[in-house]
Amino acid sequence: MKFETLAIHAGQEPDPNNGAVMTPVYLTSTYMQDGVGRPRQGYEYSRTQNPTRKALQDCLAALEGGSYGLAFASGLAATDTVLRLLDSDSHVVAGDDVYGGTFRLFDKVLRRFKLDFTFADTTDPESVAEALTPSTRLVWLETPTNPYLRVTDIRAVAEIVHSHENKPLMVVDNTFATPYLQRPLELGADIVVHSMTKYLGGHSDVVGGAVIVKDKVLAEKLAFLQNAVGAVIGPMDSFLFLRGIKTLPIRMDRHAENAMAIVEFLEEHPKVGKFIYPFHPSHPQYKIAKQQMRNGGGMISFIMKGGRAAAIKVAEATKIFTLAESLGGVESLIEVPAAMTHLSVAGSQLDVDPGLVRLSVGIENKDDLLDDIRQALDKA
């Protein structure tokens, strides 16, 4: 089956009991057993397994071209569970432009558990090679990144990582691209992570995370941790993600079409110093983006010539673009990362330009979006 069909059907069968076409929301914490230690269909307790969660997990695995999916309470819960694969004193190489919350988890929480991190420019595969040490057990990439939309050549980095003596695990946070645009497991990644809160959910109404792998042993270790640590997603949220995912391909196409129209407008605008969009020829990794992504996605960043004050003015002046954190919903959002989502990296190696504005371009009518950005820039 092709992607669009999998998005609607993978992991989901009409209910064998009554024919319900939509996966039921199994609001149960426990399951009747036929005898002591004899659960009827393998289900014992909903932290370990739940049928609605299972449908979502199977759907995620199919979409990423993996064999196993695991769903979590948030993207960061998924990230945290992956890092728990490591023993203390392990070294991790991570991108130097990862999501601020990922950086905070690594730098402020996991360092306390004796994990060591080096943040490297993963857009240059050589700098990943230089950062690897004899203790490196995991390499963490985000591509495109949040908020600079830097693109890493997944295949090139995977080759370097896999030729290292320790065989570190290579993880790609695929939140911005989604499996519709980019499939890291096919390019050599061992693990894909998502904040499903964004494009997979697509409607800004639910928080969740995902981990997808091909390897059975790795899947078993992660399933053990999912149950042992317990950062699981609930059945209602699983249902909302299943529903959101059904329209992922058509949403992503429209996000990209609208984003491209806004990029064309921004490139002419005298108040905009620089704009960043992976599918624009001015992007430094344009060629790689074109190779490994189906389209440019719905995220645009631009830097106001007037700096922080001008960025705040624009963000406060839009009428259709809502001033809010997060991204990936059908509605357009605008924010100033240095003052909002990326406050936790202020003063660090991952600091963001204070004049940078981030747009999550929604699927509204593109002329309305253009009018809105135009009038907001006029006021800045």
Ligand X SMILES: Cc1ncc(COP(=O)(O)O)c(C=O)c1O
Please list the active-site residues.
Answer: 47, 99, 173, 198
Q: Is 74 in the site for ligand X (CB under 6 A)?
A: yes
Measured from the CB atom, the residue of 158 and 192 that comes closer to ligand X is 192
CB atoms within 10 A of CB 284: 12
The rounded distance, in Å, linking the Cα atoms of 145 and 332 is: 19
Cα separation, 189 vs 82, in Å, equals 14
Using the CB atoms, write b or e for 50-73: b if 16+ within 10 Å: bbbbbbbbbbbbbbbbbbbbbbbb
Question: What is the rounded end-to-end Cα distance, in angstroms, of the chain?
Answer: 49
Q: CB-wise, 101 or 202, nearer to ligand X?
A: 101
Nearer to ligand X by Cβ, of 181 and 207: the residue is 207
CA distances from 94 to 148, 174, 186, 201 (A): 15, 14, 20, 26
**Among residues 178 and 197, whose Cβ is nearest to ligand X?**
197
23: CB partners within 8 A, 6+ apart:
12, 15, 51, 52, 55, 239, 242
80 is a contact residue toward ligand X (CB under 6 A) = no
DSSP label of 305: T
| Closer Cβ to ligand X, 133 or 322, answer by number | 322
103, 104, 109, 115: CA torsion to nearest 10: 20
Among 152, 197, 204, 258, binds ligand X (CB under 6 A): 197
175 is a site residue for ligand X (CB under 6 A): yes
Amino acid present at 345: V
Which of 61, 70, 71, 76 contacts ligand X by CB under 6 A? 76
Contacts of ligand X in 204-233 (CB under 6 A): 207, 209
Give the residue, chosen from 52, 81, 102, 332, that forms a contact with ligand X under the rule CB under 6 A: 102
Is 186 exposed, middle or buried (CB count within 10 Å of its CB: 0-12, 13-18, 19+)?
middle
3-class DSSP state for residue 301?
Answer: strand
Q: Which is nearer to ligand X, 313 or 332 (CB)?
A: 332
Which amino acid is it at 11? G
Interactions with ligand X, residue window 314-343 (CB under 6 A): none
| Coil, helix or strand at residue 366 | helix
Stretch that binds ligand X, among 152-160, 163-171, 173-181, 254-262 (CB under 6 A): 173-181
- In the complex, the smallest distance separating the C-beta of residue 64 from ligand X, rounded to whole angstroms, is 15
Residue 43 or 199: which CB sits closer to ligand X?
Answer: 199
Q: Which stretch binds ligand X (CB under 6 A): 20-28, 36-44, 97-105, 251-259?
A: 97-105
Inter-CA distances, 36 with 46, 47, 160, 311, Å: 18, 19, 50, 63
Site for ligand X in 255-314 (CB under 6 A): none
Site string for ligand X, 132-151 (x = CB under 6 A): ----------x---x-----
Contact 69, 61 (CB under 8 A): yes
CB of 196 to ligand X, least distance (A): 7
CB of 344 to ligand X, least distance (A): 11
**Minimum CB–partner distance for residue 301 and ligand X (Å):** 13
Smallest distance from ligand X to CB 209, Å: 5
Applying CB under 6 A, the residues found at the interface with ligand X are 74-76, 99, 101-102, 142, 146, 173, 175-176, 195, 197, 207, 209
